[in-house]
Amino acid sequence: MNPNTDLPRGTALVTGAAGGIGGAIVRALGEHGVTVAAVDRAAARPDALAEKARADGLDVHAFTADVSDEHEVEALLDDVERSLGPVGSLVNAAGVLRPGPAHALSHEDWARTFAVNATGVFLVSRAVVRRMLDTRRTGAVVTIASNAAGTPRTDMAAYAASKAAATMYTKCLGLEVAQHGIRCNVVAPGSTETPMLSSLWRDASGRTGTLEGAPDQYRVGIPLGRIADPVDIAEAAVYLLSDRARHITLQSLVVDGGATLGVSA
């Protein structure tokens, strides 16, 4: 464990904690000595994550909630703050991907994508920030979006649009609460070694196409020549939560190895 006094005091709440990126963020915060509420929809998944983290000496606790359900989110915050104390940091890492051509997406695919990726960010951020304001405490919010929020991608219309919505909601929220010492930022990953990414690959050529580009999809490769590890995204999130970023708000930190050529927000 490497306690980091630059991180805000209080509990950190991480949604999508059982995912590749969410899980890496939970561990990174835990390794910095932060008490973490690890939240996911399926009860067994955050339980297993928290159990392993505690075995490694980290102060991680599992909670179950559907971030798209307003009542579950409010109950979650009550439970977390009653059990672990006030939330000082939030990372919105819950996300789903329903790929498909924009003209052929089902209503259910579109609705579910927005329910988790956009409405979930709204509901959890609102619940956390309201409690910060009510108790006049400062804090930080980081939303894990995507470089696709600013770059069109074939077969990813719902995902890209939902991440764009989450990005702008986070920035608007940050503008409104900056005067209260609450900072809101976005981390926009590119291709990252997670089950979500590998689910897009039909065969072994998928990895090659991600690294080198796919002209038939109007997609360039990754200039740094590597796919991100989830810890790369986690470190960016931890930085934005920390006091080292105390004068940074309303920003998007793109972590994509240069895949959007420095122009994605």
Residues recognised as catalytic: 159
What is the per-residue DSSP string for 164-229?
A: HHHHHHHHHHHHHHGGGTEEEEEEEE-SBSSHHHHTT-SSTHHHHHHHHEEGGGTEE--TTSSPBP
Helix (H) or strand (E) segment spanning residue 160: helix 157-177
Phi and psi at 252, nearest 5°, equal -115, 120
Could you give the 3-state DSSP secondary structure of residue 93?
coil
Q: Which amino acid is at 174?
A: G
Class of residue 231 by CB neighbours under 10 A (exposed 0-12, middle 13-18, buried 19+): middle
Q: Is the four-CA dihedral 86, 20, 250, 34 of positive or negative sign?
A: positive
Q: Two tokens at 205?
A: 């050529």
Nearest CA-CA partner of 10 in 39, 28, 36, 48: 36
Torsion region of 20: left, alpha or beta (phi above 0 gives left; psi -120 to 50 gives alpha) = alpha
Contacts of 107 (CB under 8 A, 6+ apart): none
Contact 84, 6 (CB under 8 A): no
Q: Round to whole Å and give the CA distance between 206 and 162.
A: 24
189 bridge partner residues: 255
